[in-house]
Amino acid sequence: MDIERLKSFLVGGVNSPVRAFLNLGIEPPIFERSEGAYLYDISGKKYIDYIMSWGSLILGHRSNEFIKQLNFAISNYDSFGATSIIELKFAEFICKTQKLDMIRMVNSGTEATMTAIRLSRGYTKRKKIIKFSGNYHGHYDAFLVKAGSGQMTFNISISEGVNSSILEDTIVCEYNSIDQVKAAFDKYGDDIAAVIVEPIAANMGVVIPDKEFIIFLRKICHEYNSVLIFDEVITGFRIAYRGAREYFGVEPDLVTFGKIIGGGLPCGAVAGKREIMNKLAPIGNVYQAGTMSGNPIVMGVGLNVLNILYSNNQIYSQLEELALKFEEELSSILNKKGISYVINRCASMMTIFYTNKRQIKNYSDALESDINLFNRVTKTLIKNGIFIPPSQFEALFLSLSHSLMDIEKTIEIFNII
């Protein structure tokens, strides 16, 4: 069995824990092909993909733009390990269209958030950071307490292997709680280097914070000269072209990107105010580096995909229309079945919480969901070719390649749960 061979060479058969489906108690499909809204496993079975590489593929799998640019890239370059003209084009495009002063490219979301924290500490000469329970910022040590995503799914409150001395400088507040942030600043204000937040959370399931909460974070960071970091690894280029900054009309000091920014290839970035960015080496003394950072193949593909998103703003209304239809159809079928739920949706990402609560506003709310029901529904969906996230604490994503027919087919399967 391929899955047994996988398990003997890869821990749990995977390269990232959330792919193992351990919480569902089923074996994950093994894929070999993707196209548009679909994945095909090694037996040829077709799945409608609502994971979309965890939100990376907003145009769908193997879009024309992706293929065209990849073909161009492989006839022209591989990796320079030196400065390239495509890096200039990419950086200039992002900074201008995202209204940011400067950017540093890295290879993943984790590298981006880790760099943003180090940079904030170097810039402010302070130690502590505030993060929120249920937010996930990648697997850097300082974040691995009450994190969302896989850590929440597998109920690992604090990752083993992280020194407690590191976590002494991480203050965890409840998402959406102005009072808790205020209390943390009252106590430690002059030593808080940064507040890092998923401005719309997607890693405890989708949770949209109150606008006042986001405005308050901006205000208190100003007051104490702390750096406000919006982790837009998921929300960037998805909620709107300018992500949560456009949605709330609030500008942080630093932004982190990942996923969509690489157009389907591994990529991340930290960007923001010149005064802070210039603390990075080689201008400043905050050290950060990467052999593959700004790889020309990735830059070319990323630029091509982002250009499509920027120049065709109707893409976002198109996605909104499809996602609204999906939400309405889901609500109607769940009502018909007498299932209690809350759907949290922001643009083309959403989570169905199986819950008796009236709203899900934070980590504690999300944890009260009916996981047994979630597991039962999700197993049925996956078995019937609907590839949705295997955890209650993740988001499902639509792409431009999804159609009304895909939604209808998905609803038909929901009907048999």
Q: Which positions touch ligand PLP (CB under 6 A)?
A: 54, 108-110, 113, 136-138, 149, 198, 203, 231, 233-234, 258, 268
DSSP states along 255-305 = EEE-GGGGBTBS-EEEEE-HHHHTTBTTTSSB----TTTT-HHHHHHHHHH
SS3 182: helix
Considering the complex, state which of residue 134 and residue 385 has its C-beta at the smaller distance from ligand PLP.
134
The conformation of residue 112, written as its DSSP 8-state character, comes to H
Would you call 273 a catalytic residue per the annotation? Answer: no
Minimal distance in Å, beta carbon 15 to ligand PLP? 11
- How many C-beta atoms surround the C-beta of residue 286 within 10 A? 18
CB distance 415 to 334 below 8 Å: no
Chain position carrying tokens 């959403």: 350
Alpha carbons 192 and 183: distance in angstroms, whole number: 12
Identity of the amino acid at 417: I
Considering the complex, state which of residue 55 and residue 385 has its C-beta at the smaller distance from ligand PLP.
55
Alpha-carbon dihedral sign for residues 324, 326, 327, 328 = positive
Minimal distance in Å, beta carbon 351 to ligand PLP? 13
Considering the complex, state which of residue 292 and residue 333 has its C-beta at the smaller distance from ligand PLP.
292
CA triplet 260, 102, 57: central angle to 5 degrees?
Answer: 5
CA triplet 318, 352, 159: central angle to 5 degrees?
Answer: 110
Considering the complex, state which of residue 134 and residue 268 has its C-beta at the smaller distance from ligand PLP.
268
Task: Name the helix (H) or strand (E) containing 96.
Answer: helix 85-98
Considering the complex, state which of residue 150 and residue 300 has its C-beta at the smaller distance from ligand PLP.
150
Indicate the residue whose CB is closest to ligand PLP: 109
Minimal distance in Å, beta carbon 233 to ligand PLP? 3
Residue 43 CB partners (closer than 8 Å, separation 6+): none
Determine the number of helices (DSSP H) and then strands (DSSP E) in the chain.
Answer: 16, 14
> If you count them, how many residues does the chain have?
417
Q: What are phi and psi for residue 190, nearest 5 degrees?
A: -75, -5
Considering the complex, state which of residue 149 and residue 362 has its C-beta at the smaller distance from ligand PLP.
149
- Active-site pick, 231, 253, 365, 406: 231
Minimal distance in Å, beta carbon 235 to ligand PLP? 8
- Active-site pick, 47, 50, 136, 241: 136
- Active-site pick, 259, 316, 341, 361: 259
Among 272, 257, 352, 274, residue whose Cα is nearest residue 309: 257
Would you call 363 a catalytic residue per the annotation? Answer: no
Minimal distance in Å, beta carbon 223 to ligand PLP? 26
Considering the complex, state which of residue 23 and residue 108 has its C-beta at the smaller distance from ligand PLP.
108
Task: Name the helix (H) or strand (E) containing 234.
Answer: none
CB distance 205 to 365 below 8 Å: no
Would you call 287 a catalytic residue per the annotation? Answer: no
Q: Which residues are catalytic?
A: 136, 231, 259
